[in-house]
Chain A
Amino acid sequence: MSENTKPRSPTESGCPDGFQYMHPLMRKNYGNWDHHDHPRPGVLKHVSKDGEPIWTVKCATQRILDTFSLRTLCDIGDNFADGHVHFTMRSNIEYMVADEAKVQPLIEEIEKNGFIVGGTAASVSSISHTQGWLHCDIPGTDASGVVKSMMDELIDEFKNHNMPNRVHITTSCCQINCGGQGDIAINVQHTKPPKIDHDLVGNACERPSVVARCPVAAIRPAVVNGKPSLEVDEKKCICCGACFPPCPPMQINDAEHTKLAIWVGGNHSNARSKPTFQKLVAAGIPNNPPRWPEATAIVKKILKCYKEDGRPWERMNDWIERIGWPAFFEQTGLPFTKFHLDNWRGARNSLNASNHVRF
């Protein structure tokens, strides 16, 4: 290989040092903060132990940013916020300023450019989401489109502090659930076993690993039409789609039978109670692009009940824990079915082994 066609060896620098990009006031006061408050929704004021304040303005974006939008966000940062930004884990961008007089012009500039200020404290923050039809190889639905449609309807809850506590919503386009746990999670739930293209399995799939992926041992090797393939015991199959990523000929996505389900009460924080997993509350919701109105309507209904009945500082799971699941289903009007009864490992722990019943 000649010198000029030799590939470049990478510099394995790994994770870059964050201090070089940090706002100078945060660098100066690193580990030296004293308290904070919320002057208005979307704005935080932190004060250092030496009395030095910093204001943060939180701003929602469309997450899948085009370079035009990112450059606009950079211009705002240059002209109004000292040239430093921070991204939250829900893909909000935050601008920090040392001078209170800069806060209002910054907010105006953000809003003038079509971005939304909010997402702090007891609000509904931006929805954490996945790639969906835009880029995933196994998606049952889109992600950015679902989120855009929902946040159009929930924007007032993003811009205000009207909830009992913060609300984190997530979406996921398959049951792997890359969107993660949330106070409310909107996730794909398949309702039919995979359709197998037996002509392709032999060449495309490492059959033993596909068999091993199945959580309920419903897949076994088989010869179909004289070709090595796989077969699914459809009575055992739980339609999770775990076989699809390692074996694309086991097509799980289906325009009709891939549905959405809604889960509530996932909470990562250790505040008050230990972290909790989300629980299934609604299913069979149509996967209905471009605006998914049925899913949004249920989310709004749940949020309305939580907003009206939740007490200050109660997260979704705290609220339901206090009022009980019968009241949750009563208030939201969602049907309670045999599918809400867990039958996975450890399921007995989810049953009410007591006489604790509200009347």
Chain B
Amino acid sequence: MAEQFKTPMLDELEKGPWPSFISGFKRLRDDHPDKRINETANSLLGQLEHSYETRKGYWKGGTVSVFGYGSGIIPRFSEVADTFVASKEFHTVRVQPPAGNHYTTDMLRTLCDSWEKYGSGLITFHGQTGNIMFIGVDTENTQKFFDEINEYGWDLGGAGPCVRTGMSCMGAARCEMSCADEQQIHLRLMNNFTDDVHRPALPYKFKFKVSGCGNDCQNAIERSDMAILGTWRDDMKVNQTEVKNYINKKSRQYVIDNVTTRCPTNALTLNDDDTLTVDNKNCVRCMHCLNVMNKALSPGDDKGVTICIGGKRTLKIGDLMGTVVIPFKKLETEEDYESLVEFAEDIIDFWAENGLEHERTGEMIERIGIANFLDAIGVEVDPNMINHPRQSSYVRLDEWDAEAQKWFERKKAA
């Protein structure tokens, strides 16, 4: 091997009890049988040490793709390649994981085998968008690595202005709170938009995230353009025997302090006989009491999803939460799922036509107003969409009577 770069600052990150990524890099440098991997790891360690010393990054982007796609590779070229030669091209391959991030060890080893043939040996499960990140491959081997893993069932995720890789929680696979079939929702949505994942042609990124309940373990409301959250609309199930068992275990006081008084809508009453009464009409399915007393309390049977649109992080206009556009939707029949996919298509089509360059769906809604957005995608207004009605009197109400009439007609038809 060429000169071994000294890494006094990175060596500090081998101390302490938490697993050290630097020790991992050094194993690739020192112990891997493939000389190419040893040299790449040495070069990467050298460049990273240089970053630590100078407090600057030294990667630049570029254009690298695989045949037939325009997306899925994050190109990285070193700006200090003269010194750190072996990692001069160090691209990341973004690969779509299965919904819920399940793997067999056999499959992980097969992926390791392919990656060691072509790449650096560094992998992350998963990046913040949700992809498996194969970090560090040169331009030539990018195609070869993709060809090999694509043969046994793996495809690239999104990067750039396109539909991005989706994320969904463990959900029905291992969680009693789940009110949705996260696997099916995730697969139906993602695999309807495969073309939009691979070929960036949208104003900016568009993310789907699926959480099986209001605990929103996937951060869907804040981190996705279309958040699908499981919920239910009949009564919460209460097992009164288990309520009593819980009180016996933890005390009445504990249940009052941590369950009933923490209900955001005061929908719980602990009765004198240690039974619990739920005011289901006022329960907002926040999940708190179920989280605390998960043996005693369970979601109802009439399950479905709430859909929020327009969540995103800072750039450009500031953080936005997704907001309710569909308060409740059943997802049981083939038609239900088809209409979910069509709803996503309607939103993406309208945004693709009307979004400005680099404008997320939520920012477009902010710019044109939610009423125009709802009109465009054919969704009727619903008071579940708001925290409160408008406070400003600066508004023209020319068509008030006609709009009021629509409301009464919809009520009559329901």
- In angstroms, Cα B62 to Cα A358, docked, is 55
Given contacts A10-B67, A91-B124, 15 further A-B contacts (CB under 8 A): A10-B66, A15-B186, A35-B294, A46-B174, A56-B174, A68-B28, A70-B108, A87-B103, A133-B52, A135-B59, A148-B16, A148-B20, A177-B314, A181-B223, A345-B318
Are the CB atoms of A65 and B316 closer together than 8 Å?
A: no
Within 8 A of B (CB), among A164-185: 175-181
Can you show 11 pairs from A to B with CB atoms below 8 A apart?
A12-B155, A63-B21, A65-B124, A68-B28, A70-B108, A74-B109, A83-B106, A91-B124, A91-B126, A142-B52, A255-B56
Of A46, A275, A291, chain B has the most CB atoms within 10 Å of the CB of A275
Q: How far is the CA of A131 from the CA of B51 in the complex (A)?
A: 13
Return chain B residues, CB-CB under 8 Å to A66: 21, 24-25, 27-28, 121-122
User: Is the Cβ of A26 less than 8 Å from the Cβ of B173?
Assistant: yes
A262 to B196, CA, bound (A): 36
Contact residues in B for A175 (Cβ distance below 8 Å): 314-315
Given A15-B99, A180-B222: A271 in contact with B153 (beta carbons within 8 A): no
A287 proximal to B (CB < 8 A): yes
Q: Is the CB of A145 within 8 A of B13?
A: yes
> Closest CB-CB distance, B306 to chain A, in whole Å?
10
Residue of A nearest to B101 (CB): A87
A7 to B48, CA, bound (A): 35
A301 at interface, CB cutoff 8 A: no
Would you give the 0/1 interface string for A121-150, flagging 1 where the beta carbon is closer than 8 Å to chain B? 000000010111111111111101100110
Partner of B183, one of A19, A78, A86, A131: A19
A271 nearest in chain B by CB position: B288
* A146 CB, nearest partner CB in chain B, Å: 10
Known: A87-B103, A142-B52, A213-B316. A275 touches B221 (CB 8 A): yes
A residues in contact with B262, CB < 8 Å: 272, 313
Indicate with 1 or 0, residue by residue over B201-227, a CB within 8 angstroms of chain A CB atoms.
000000000000011111111110000
Q: Quick one: which of B31, B187, B218 contacts A17, CB cutoff 8 A?
A: B187
> In the complex, A10→B295 CA distance in Å?
48
Q: Footprint of B on A, CB under 8 Å? A: 7-23, 26-27, 30-31, 33-37, 46, 54, 56, 60-71, 73-75, 77-78, 83-89, 91, 93, 96, 114-116, 128, 130-142, 144-145, 148-149, 151-152, 155, 175-181, 209, 212-213, 215, 240, 242, 248, 253, 255, 258, 266, 268-273, 275, 277, 287, 289-291, 311-313, 344-345
In the complex the two chains form, is B102's CB within 8 Å of A21's CB? yes
CB contacts (< 8 Å) of B364 on chain A: these are: none
A213-B286 Cα distance, complex, nearest whole Å: 37
Task: Give chain B's interface residues, CB within 8 Å of chain A.
Answer: 9-10, 12-13, 15-22, 24-25, 27-28, 31-32, 44, 48, 51-52, 54-61, 66-69, 74, 76, 90, 92, 96-109, 112, 115-116, 121-128, 130, 135-136, 143, 146-147, 150-151, 153-156, 165-167, 169-170, 172-176, 178, 181, 183, 186-187, 190-191, 194-195, 197-198, 214-223, 229, 257-258, 262, 264, 284-288, 291-292, 294-295, 298, 313-319, 321, 356-358
CB distance from B60 to the nearest CB of A (A): 5
Please judge, given known A-B contacts A35-B294, A64-B135, A67-B115, whether A271 and B215 are in contact too, CB under 8 Å: yes
> With A137-B59, A209-B358 in contact, do A35 and B167 touch (Cβ < 8 Å)?
no
Q: Determine which of B21, B124, B128, B173 lies in contact with A22 in the assembled complex, contact meaning CB atoms within 8 Å.
A: B173
Collect the chain A residues with CB atoms within 8 Å of residue B197's CB: 14
> A11 contacts which chain B residues (CB < 8 A)?
150-151, 155
A318 vs B207: C-alpha distance in the bound complex, in angstroms?
Answer: 28
> Residue of A at shortest CB range from B51?
A133
Contacts of A20 in B (CB 8 A): 98, 104
Contact status A14-B96, CB under 8 Å = yes
Q: Do the beta carbons of A313 and B292 come within 8 Å of each other? A: yes
Shortest CB-to-CB span from A166 to chain B, Å, is 10
Contacts of A148 in B (CB 8 A): 13, 16, 18, 20-22
Contact pick for B143, options A7, A75, A266, A269, CB 8 Å: A7
Q: Which residue of B lies closest to A155 (CB)?
A: B17
Question: If the complex has contacts A10-B155, A148-B16, A290-B12, are A138 and B357 also in contact, measured as CB distance less than 8 A?
Answer: no
Q: Which residue of A lies closest to B58 (CB)?
A: A133
CB neighbours (8 Å) of A248 from chain B are: 60
Which chain A positions have C-beta within 8 A of B121?
Answer: 66-68
B68 lies within 8 A of A83 (CB)? no
Provide the residues of chain B in CB contact with A69, threshold 8 Å: 19, 24, 27
Q: Given that A35-B295, A148-B21 are contacting pairs, would A270 and B286 also be in contact in the complex, using a CB cutoff of 8 Å?
A: yes
Report yes or no: A215 in contact with B105, Cβ–Cβ below 8 A: no
> What residues on A are CB-neighbors of B27 within 8 Å?
66, 68-69
Distance A145 CA – B19 CA, assembled complex (angstroms):
11
Tell me whether A21 and B67 are in contact in the complex, defined as CB-CB below 8 angstroms, given that A60-B18, A65-B124, A155-B18 are known contacts.
no
Chain A to chain B: the 7 pairs with minimum beta-carbon distance, closest first: A152-B16, A66-B24, A18-B98, A270-B214, A133-B51, A7-B67, A74-B105
CB proximity of B198 to chain A, nearest CB, Å: 7
Which B residues are in CB contact (< 8 Å) with A139?
A: 57
Residues of A within 8 A of B215 (CB): 269-271
Contact, CB under 8 Å: B52 / A289: yes
CB neighbours of B128 from chain A (8 A): 128, 130, 178-180
CB nearest to A314 among chain B residues? B262
| CA A15 to CA B166, docked complex, whole Å | 9
A30 to B212 alpha-carbon distance, docked (Å): 13
CB distance from B226 to the nearest CB of A (A): 15
Chain B, Cβ-Cβ closest to A241: B315
Residues of chain B within 8 A (CB-CB) of A277 are 222, 319, 321
Q: Is the CB of B222 within 8 A of A275?
A: yes
Q: Which listed residue, B102, B135, B166, touches A86 by the CB 8 Å rule?
A: B102
A137 contacts B17, CB within 8 Å? no
